[in-house]
Amino acid sequence: MNDNRMWIRGQSLLSSLGRRTGASLPLCLSLILLALAGVSPPALGQVANDAEGRSAESPAETGSVEGDMKGLLPVPDYKGDFASRPFLSGDWGGTRQDWANRGFTFSVKWLQFSQGLLSGGIDEGWAYATNLDYYMHLDLGQMGVMPGALINFRGQSRFGSTVNGDTGLLLPVNTYSYFPATAPLDDNIPFTITELNYVQFFSEHFAVLLGKITTMGNSNEFSGGEGRSQFMNFQFIFPAVFAQVAPYSSLAGGVIWQPIPEVKVSSTFMNTTDASTTIGFGDIGNGTSWGTNIDYQYKLGNLPGGMTLSALYAFDGDFAKVEGINIPQPGLTVNQASTRDAWALYWDAWQYISVETETPASIDPTDGRQSLQGLGMFVMLGAGDRDTNPVTWSATIGISGRGSIPGRDDDTWGVGGFYNDLQRLGGVIIGNRQESRTAGLEAYYNLALARSVALTLDFQWTQAAFRQADDSILLGFRLGIDF
């Protein structure tokens, strides 16, 4: 087999290694977080991002330098003027390009959020948050050290505050600034390492991963990006049922198998306990979670589409039963009734409705941006363990577009809605107007100021999860810069 061909195809495997496999937090802790309007996310994250923090694309899409590709990742082209180059700081006089050619890439992503609770919720007002992501990748094959090997590093910083704790919702309305997870909510994080892992490909069909990962990677073409590039509300990234069954950052080991180009199967074991701000070795033995997902990408006519089926099972933990939860005012108590396991299932699908450009053989739905000009739609359905999860089932649907305004080919937008069916905990009504449900709407427009700079206007209406809180109307702004 030609080595170059094997590793070029290997990028396709990398883009899905480990997503959507997660672990479970004890429900008593989850409910405390729920009261603060946020919960841990559901998935083994994107472990093989390119230097922009997005998953690897084809050489043609990234503008790779010419020559044989001996490594796993395409070599980005850092050249170009302000509007066209992928990173604001450029190629550093050729030094950065030389490093990339040798297998080393480094980048910083800076996101700023200003979001206001205009009415409803618990406490109206505005909040400002800023996040920094530091990405580094060592492509050992490109370096000539180890064929098919890759080391991934991600560091994160967070400062400021959000309105996540003021809405009366079960999940964050600003997902990206909610993580890394901390208690108390919105605690400043000067710096923490959330990813450090090793990936090894043994063939074009099979790879393994070992190390620390993040879990917010998503393979939906129209609702990915961890809340940094498309929708901001958690429930347009993952179904609410998964919020109770995965940490954000954890030690993990996983495998991925791609029997044919259209199908990818990944399976991962990881610690139950979140390790956003710790090394994670102390969490070994305190609960384990096993997650498996199947990705399938296809075409209807000439229109790309895809779907994912995910299953998570957490075991050897201590999960409070929903029937044992009581929420008196003003505190929260938990009955001793518990179980050792919990589970969640979900189905996620996306489909282009129309495209204005030539359709490639395949696209990458994990990079958090719409690849083609045109329109598309998505739907997510999830079901949770009634013994341990306050959300029994959830549904999300939406539509997105790119280049809808003449002359604005890289602008994107999206509109969607979600619905959650809730249980009543300890006789206390969770669900607005004594109805055991929550729902919401979100609309955004992402203005591409340059290839490396984007400004987003975001609007949300959300139905409160608790009777004492009113429905919320939120307006937000997001500025993202790739350095």
- CA–CA separation, 257 vs 244, rounded Å? 27
Average pLDDT in the chain: 81
pLDDT of residue 318: 73
State the pLDDT confidence band at 384, using cuts at 50, 70 and 90: confident
Q: How far is CA 301 from CA 25, 305, 364, in A?
A: 43, 10, 18
Which range has the worst mean pLDDT, 141-155, 367-381, 430-444?
430-444
Contact 75, 52 (CB under 8 A): no
**DSSP states of 114-140 as a string?**
EEEEEEEESS-EEEEEEEEEEEEEEEH
pLDDT of residue 103: 95
pLDDT of residue 243: 73
pLDDT of residue 436: 74
pLDDT of residue 323: 62
Check pLDDT > 90 for residue 406. yes
CB-based burial of residue 123 (10 Å sphere; 0-12 exposed, 13-18 middle, 19+ buried)? exposed
Check pLDDT > 60 for residue 358. yes
- Write out pLDDT tens, residues 96-122: 999 999 999 999 999 999 999 999 988
Q: Which residues of 375-400 are buried (b: 16+ CB within 10 A; e: fewer)?
A: bbbbbbbbbbbebbbbbbbbbbebeb
The residue ranking higher by pLDDT, 439 or 437, is 439
Check pLDDT > 70 for residue 474. yes
- Write out pLDDT tens, residues 2-48: 333 333 333 444 444 444 443 333 333 333 233 333 333 333 333 33
- In sequence order, what are the residues at sequence separation of 6 or more whose Cβ sits closer than 8 angstroms to the Cβ of residue 7? 69, 70, 71, 72, 141, 147, 148, 201, 204
Contact 201, 10 (CB under 8 A): yes
Check pLDDT > 80 for residue 287. yes
Within 232-365, residue ranges assigned H as helices are: none
Q: Which residues of 333-367 are buried (b: 16+ CB within 10 A; e: fewer)?
A: ebeeebeebbbbbbebbbbbeebeeebeeebbbbb
pLDDT of residue 424: 65
State the pLDDT confidence band at 380, using cuts at 50, 70 and 90: very high
pLDDT of residue 464: 79
CB-based burial of residue 457 (10 Å sphere; 0-12 exposed, 13-18 middle, 19+ buried)? middle
Domains of the chain with CATH codes: 3-482 (2.40.160.180)
Which range has the worst mean pLDDT, 74-78, 109-113, 131-135, 159-163?
74-78
State the pLDDT confidence band at 346, using cuts at 50, 70 and 90: very high
The residue ranking higher by pLDDT, 197 or 9, is 197
- CA–CA separation, 326 vs 332, rounded Å? 7
pLDDT of residue 113: 97
State the pLDDT confidence band at 428, using cuts at 50, 70 and 90: very low
Q: Give the chain's radius of gyration (CA, Å).
A: 21
User: What's the one-letter identity of residue 332?
Assistant: L
Tokens 């958690």 found at? 234
- Write out pLDDT tens, residues 309-345: 999 888 887 777 766 544 443 344 445 567 778 899 9
pLDDT of residue 3: 36
Contact 420, 390 (CB under 8 A): no
Average pLDDT on 163-181 reads: 90
pLDDT of residue 310: 92
% of the chain exceeding 70 in pLDDT: 79
Check pLDDT > 70 for residue 91. yes
- H-helix or E-strand containing 443? strand 437-450
Residue 353's closest CA among 287, 422, 317, 399?
399
pLDDT of residue 46: 35
Check pLDDT > 60 for residue 173. yes
pLDDT of residue 435: 57
Q: Which of 110-114, 121-125, 293-297 has the highest mean pLDDT?
A: 110-114
pLDDT of residue 176: 95
Give the torsion sign (CA, 115, 135, 361, 11).
negative
pLDDT of residue 334: 46
